[in-house]
C-alpha cells in the first residue's frame, strides 16, 4: 500500500486523514503542535454554516450545504457537542429589505431552509433583536470544532492512520525514484503523495516542483520551484512519480 502524508492537524488535515484512512490508504498525519486544532480551527466562531451566501450551483454552495449535514451527522455519531440553533439575518431599515430578498432567493436556490419573518417573530428567536424584517435560517448551527478534531483523530487512528504531533514539516521535494520526500525537521519521510493542509501559514515550503504532469496540484496550476516558495496555497496534493 502506498503511503500518503497529510500535513496539518486542523479540521482540514484531520478530515482528509479520516477520509483516506477509511478508504484503506496508509496515512501518516504530521502536526507541528502538540495538540489538534491548535491554530485557526481552534480559534474560529464554531458556526456550522448553512450555505446561504454562495452562488447557486457553485462548488462552494454545494459543499457548504452538504458539509452542514455531514458535520452534524458526524457530531451526532461521535458525541461531539453541537446544536442546530438557526440564525437570523436582519434588515435594520427598509433599504436593506431588497438585499434580504436576494438572500432569501439564494437560500431557496441552494436548498437552504430559510424564510422571511417580521420583527415580532424575529424577537421570539432573539428578544434583543431590532429589525424591520429578518431571514430565519433554520439549518445554521454551532459546534465544538476542537472536539470534532479529537473525534476525527480517534476515528482515523482506529482506521489505522499514524497521527504524529510535534512533527513540524520543514520541506517537501520530489524524489528522483518517484514519490515525494517530506522532511520532518531534518529527517526525511518518503511518501507516494503529500497533502498539505497546513493552512495559510506558509511555514512548510515545498521546493523543487518539477513542473511536470506528475505533480498534481489541486488549487492552482503547477508553478516553478521559485514561485512555490510564496506558498500561498492552503491545501494541495503533491504526488511525484
Ligand atoms: C475569525 C474566523 C472565524 C471563523 N469562523 C468559522 C466558523 O464559525 N465556522 C467555520 O466553518 N469556519 C470558520 N472559519 C474558517 C475556519 O476556521 C477555517 O477555514 C479552518 O479552521 C481552516 O482549517 P485548516 O485545517 O485549513 O487550518 P488550521 O486549523 O490552521 O490547521 C492547520 C494546521 O497545520 C499545522 N501546520 C502548519 N505548518 C505546519 C508544518 N510545517 N508542519 C506540520 N504542521 C503544520 C498547524 O499547526 C495547524 O494545526 C473562521 C475563520 C476565521 C479567520
Q: What are the residues whose beta carbons fall under 8 Å from the beta carbon of 158, sequence distance 6 or more? A: none
Q: Is 40 close to ligand 1, i.e. is its CB under 6 Å away?
A: yes
Q: What are the residues whose beta carbons fall under 8 Å from the beta carbon of 227, sequence distance 6 or more? A: none
Ligand 1 geometric centre to CA of 142 (Å): 17
Q: Identify the weakest region by mean pLDDT among 67-71, 125-129, 142-146, 211-215.
A: 211-215
**Nearest Cα to 197, choosing from 45, 65, 19, 47?**
19
Q: Whose CA is nearest to atom 1 of ligand 1?
A: 44
233 pLDDT more than 80: no
Q: Is 198 close to ligand 1, i.e. is its CB under 6 Å away?
A: yes
- Find cell 450555505 and name the residue: 51
Q: Is 105 close to ligand 1, i.e. is its CB under 6 Å away?
A: no
Using CA atoms, how far apart are residues 166 and 149, in angstroms rounded to an integer?
16
Residue 25's H or E segment, with its range, is none
Share of the chain above pLDDT 70, in %: 82
Q: Is 195 close to ligand 1, i.e. is its CB under 6 Å away?
A: no
The residue-averaged pLDDT of 125-141 equals 97
Query: Grid coordinates representing 42?
Result: 481552534
Ligand 1 geometric centre to CA of 45 (Å): 12
Using CA atoms, how far apart are residues 11 and 197, in angstroms rounded to an integer?
9
190 pLDDT more than 80: no
Q: Is 189 close to ligand 1, i.e. is its CB under 6 Å away?
A: no
Q: What is the pLDDT of residue 232?
A: 32
Q: Is 234 close to ligand 1, i.e. is its CB under 6 Å away?
A: yes
Give the number of other Cβ atoms within 10 Å of residue 151's Cβ. Answer: 20
pTM of the model: 0.86
235 pLDDT more than 80: no
Using CA atoms, how far apart are residues 199 and 39, in angstroms rounded to an integer?
9
Phi, psi at residue 78, to the nearest 5°? -115, 15
Residue-wise pLDDT for 26-44, tens only, equals: 999 999 999 999 999 999 9
Residue-wise pLDDT for 64-113, tens only, equals: 999 999 999 999 999 999 999 999 999 999 999 999 999 999 999 999 99
Ligand 1 geometric centre to CA of 8 (Å): 9
Domain ranges of the chain: 3-44+165-239, 47-143
Cβ atoms of 7 and 34 within 8 Å: the answer is no
The domain 3-44+165-239 belongs to what CATH superfamily?
Answer: FAD/NAD(P)-binding domain (3.50.50.60)
Task: Map residue 241 onto helix, strand or coil.
Answer: coil
Q: Is 153 close to ligand 1, i.e. is its CB under 6 Å away?
A: no
Amino acid at each position: 500500500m502506498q503511503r500518503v502524508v497529510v500535513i496539518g492537524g486542523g479540521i482540514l488535515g484531520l478530515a482528509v486523514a479520516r477520509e483516506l484512512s477509511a478508504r484503506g490508504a496508509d496515512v501518516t498525519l504530521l502536526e507541528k503542535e502538540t495538540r489538534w486544532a491548535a491554530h485557526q480551527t481552534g480559534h474560529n466562531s464554531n458556526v456550522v454554516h448553512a450555505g446561504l451566501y454562495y452562488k447557486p450551483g457553485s462548488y462552494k454552495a454545494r459543499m457548504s450545504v452538504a458539509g452542514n449535514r455531514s458535520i452534524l451527522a458526524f457530531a451526532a455519531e461521535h458525541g461531539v457537542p453541537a446544536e442546530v440553533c438557526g440564525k437570523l439575518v436582519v434588515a435594520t431599515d427598509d433599504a436593506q429589505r431588497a438585499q434580504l430578498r436576494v438572500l432569501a432567493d439564494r437560500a431557496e436556490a441552494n436548498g437552504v431552509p430559510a424564510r422571511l419573518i417580521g420583527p415580532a417573530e424575529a424577537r421570539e428567536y432573539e428578544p434583543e433583536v431590532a429589525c424591520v424584517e429578518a431571514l430565519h435560517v433554520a439549518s445554521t448551527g454551532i459546534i465544538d470544532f476542537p472536539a470534532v478534531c479529537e473525534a476525527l483523530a480517534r476515528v482515523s487512528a482506529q482506521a489505522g492512520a499514524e497521527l504524529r504531533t510535534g512533527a513540524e514539516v520543514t520541506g517537501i521535494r520530489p524524489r528522483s525514484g518517484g514519490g515525494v520526500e517530506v522532511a520532518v525537521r531534518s529527517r526525511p519521510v518518503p511518501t507516494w503523495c503529500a497533502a498539505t493542509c497546513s493552512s495559510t501559514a506558509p511555514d512548510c515550503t515545498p521546493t523543487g516542483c518539477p513542473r511536470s504532469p506528475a505533480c498534481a496540484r489541486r488549487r492552482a496550476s503547477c508553478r516553478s520551484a521559485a514561485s512555490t516558495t510564496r506558498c500561498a496555497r492552503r491545501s494541495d496534493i503533491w504526488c511525484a512519480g
